Amino acid sequence: MRKRAIFAADVRSLGGVVTVANARSPAECEQAFRVAHVSRGGDVAFQSGLIHDEDQASAAARVLAEFTGAQVQRHNRS
């Protein structure tokens, strides 16, 4: 458990890993992607909604990684 509150100035020091994972839209049964972030300490996590364009998902992951000080990893899951 995090000992103190997180403020906007703390976000860049979260570190951790940002991933782009394959996902499926249950309603449309078509390929989609999710962007996720887990902080270095594992106590802060985020997962995006479905993103239908791979280039947009990759761009979102790069921006999120830059914002949080994390590294981008690509995971291929269905």
**Would 2 be classed as within a structural domain?**
no
Residue 59 maps to a domain: yes
Beta strands in 1-78, from DSSP E residues, in sequence order: 17-24, 31-38, 45-47, 71-75
Task: Please give the Cα distance from 18 to 8 (Å, whole number).
Answer: 18
Look at the chain and report how many structural domains it folds into.
Answer: 1
- Tell whether 15 is covered by a domain: yes
Residue 61 lies in a domain: yes
Domain of 45, in residue numbers? 8-75
Q: Is residue 3 part of a domain?
A: no
- Please name the residues in contact with 25: beta carbons below 8 A apart, sequence gap of 6 or more: 32, 50, 52
Please name the amino acid found at residue 32. Answer: A
Predicted confidence (pLDDT) per residue in 6-61, tens digit: 777 777 888 999 999 999 877 777 889 999 999 998 888 999 999 999 999 999 99
Sheet holding 71-75, edge to edge: 45-47, 31-38, 17-24, 71-75
pTM of the model: 0.79
